[in-house]
Amino acid sequence: MDIAEQIRTDPEGGSRRLVAELGAGLWALALRLCENRADAEDLYVRTLETAVAKIAEQRGPFFSAWLRAICLNLRRSDLRRAGLPADRSAVPESIPDESPTPLDETAARADAAAVRDAVARLPERLRAPVLLRYWDGLSHAEIASALGVPESSSRRLLTQARAVLRAELDDLLRERRTP
């Protein structure tokens, strides 16, 4: 039984399973969307609460993607409410000092983390082709097959994703361009 179905039939057990199985990945996303840990915690719990409240609307096999979409949308709403641009092009500040962060360890690791954060902040439809291409090393045809879209579409998505990433990682790439 998938998680959504379990939450519908057994709210308590399903919720526990939700937190246990998908909580960590969601937390990773929340951390990268927010500028401090408190906000991330708030976003994290609101995402989970929203998910179980709207579980009846969830359908299809992409439960984790749906969960991440909720998280992204909630964050966008928060930003708008705060009068901030919902789509930030700048890489967010690192997590404050009260908790240890991997971003502080070395410059190289910070760069890598920034890249991963940027990938994490991509919309799901753009993130998947990027990961399939650069993580799994799939060809365009394979990506298209995996996504179930024509190759032209997967290429287009990848192009869009690269454009977003270039904008986000502008400083980083510029440094590499001028060693």
Q: Which residues, numbered 72-111, are part of the site for another protein (CB under 8 A)?
A: 72-73, 76, 80-81, 83-87, 95, 99-102, 111
* 85 or 90: CB nearest another protein: 85
Long-range contacts of 73-82 (CB under 8 A, 24+ apart): 74/43, 74/46, 74/47, 74/50, 75/30, 75/33, 75/34, 75/43, 78/39, 78/43
Shortest distance (Å) from residue 66 CB to another protein? 5
Q: Does 3 bind another protein (CB under 8 A)?
A: no
Residue selected from 3, 14, 43, 91 as contacting another protein according to rule CB under 8 A: 14
Contact between 110 and 93 (Cβ < 8 Å): no
Residue selected from 45, 90, 107, 167 as contacting another protein according to rule CB under 8 A: 45
Residues 136-175 that bind another protein (CB under 8 A): 136, 138, 141-146, 148-153, 155-156, 158-160, 162-163, 165-166, 169, 172-173
Shortest distance (Å) from residue 107 CB to another protein? 13
Residue selected from 3, 34, 44, 121 as contacting another protein according to rule CB under 8 A: 44
Nearest to 168 by CA among 89, 60, 55, 114: 89
Tokens of 92: 């967010």
Tokens of 43: 């976003």
Nearest to 40 by CA among 102, 81, 104, 99: 99
Residue selected from 35, 93, 124, 171 as contacting another protein according to rule CB under 8 A: 124
